[in-house]
Amino acid sequence: MEDQSIVSAVLLGLIEGLTEFIPVSSTAHVLLAGHFLGFNSPGNTFAVLIQLGAILAILTVYFHKLLAIATALPSDPRSRHFVLAVLVAFLPAAIIGAIAHDFIKAVLFETPMLICVMLIVGGVILLVVDKMTFKPRYTDVMDYPLSLALKIGFFQCLAMIPGTSRSGATIVGSLLMGTDKRSAAEFSFFLAMPTMLGAFVLDLYKNRNALSFDDGMLIGVGFIAAFISALFVVRGLLDFVSRRGYAPFAWWRIAIGIAGLIGLLVRG
């Protein structure tokens, strides 16, 4: 295992953690950065498996809230409703992801031009939605109706096209259906846990025979880097979104998408 590969794994892990929970598409950033760094992973497993570090960051930040919900499940209908809403929202991605996994990894993940275009398109959509005036009907994730959760789950499936952004798709879908910006981002956090864990397990199972010891070491390095950087994002994102909205992320998406297209045209 070369030192250059370790440095690349650290860098890609930091990028994953910094971008996973903001609507800019962490997968797009990791895949594009890996492309230009010349970083290769069997079946592109690295980009998926290091997401577990970001999941651990959520568990760390929301540990007390998650523990309170878990202990209240037997006696509190509101807690049971919230857990069910998250599971309902996760269901579409679980089904479609399992069916389309091979196509997503073999075709969509291997098309950097598509990723750049989706970054730009998603940025434009995010700018438009951020400027729209909504009258929120739902401001607490604990009270999201199951029907709303299911619709958000279908929006999340759009992120199977790399460059779309899982958090971006769920946040935009949530806002269009009557949530406020803060609770939309928070629900995206909670929905990330079963979604990313499911993707981790499925991808690890599919590629279990292709991964070597060195691959596992690089994934471990990326995992740690993703965990550390994601901690900072999760702790500060909700307050940032409440103050500034999503326009800064939209412009970032557009800039990275354009830069990626230029890089691909120049370097291939």
**pLDDT given at position 258:** 95
pLDDT reported for residue 194: 92
The predicted pLDDT at position 181 comes to: 86
Higher pLDDT, 238 or 57: 57
Residue 14 near residue 37 (C-beta atoms within 8 A): no
Question: Which phi and psi angles does 23 have, rounded to 5°?
Answer: -80, 60
Task: Point out the least confidently predicted range of 27-41, 82-96, 157-171.
Answer: 27-41
**Range of weakest confidence among 29-43, 107-121, 216-230:** 29-43
State percent of the chain over pLDDT 70. 97
Place 81 in a pLDDT band, splitting at 50, 70 and 90: very high
**What does the pLDDT read at residue 3?**
58
pLDDT tens profile 85-130: 999 999 999 999 889 888 887 788 878 899 999 999 999 999 998 8
Domain count across the chain: 1
Question: What pLDDT shows up at residue 111?
Answer: 85
The overall average pLDDT reported for the chain is 88
Q: Quote the pLDDT of residue 38.
A: 84
| Structure tokens, 227 | 């965990």
Q: Of 230-234, 237-241, 244-248, which range is least confident?
A: 237-241
Decide if pLDDT at 174 tops 90: yes
CA dihedral 236, 239, 243, 249 (to 10 degrees): 40
Compute the distance between CA of residue 53 and CA of residue 236 in angstroms, rounded to an integer.
17
Q: Specify the pLDDT at position 202.
A: 85
Q: Which domain holds residue 247?
A: 3-267
* Residue 249: pLDDT over 70: yes
Angle at 64 between CA 58 and CA 85, to 5 degrees: 65
pLDDT > 70? residue 2: no
Q: What per-residue confidence (pLDDT) applies to 200?
A: 84
What's the pLDDT at 207?
78
What is the pLDDT at residue 209? Answer: 80
**Per-residue pLDDT at 268:** 63
Residue 22: per-residue pLDDT = 85
DSSP characters over the chain: --HHHHHHHHHHHHHHHHHTTTTT-HHHHHHHHHHHHT---GGGHHHHHTHHHHHHHHHHHTHHHHHHHHHHTTT-HHHHHHHHHHHHHHHHHHHHHHHHHHHHHHTGGG-HHHHHHHHHHHHHHHHHHHHS----SB--GGG--HHHHHHHHHHHGGGGSTTS-HHHHHHHHHHHTTB-HHHHHHHHHHHHHHHHHHHHHHHHHHTTTT--HHHHHHHHHHHHHHHHHHHHHHHHHHHHHHHH-SHHHHHHHHHHHHHHHHHHHHH-
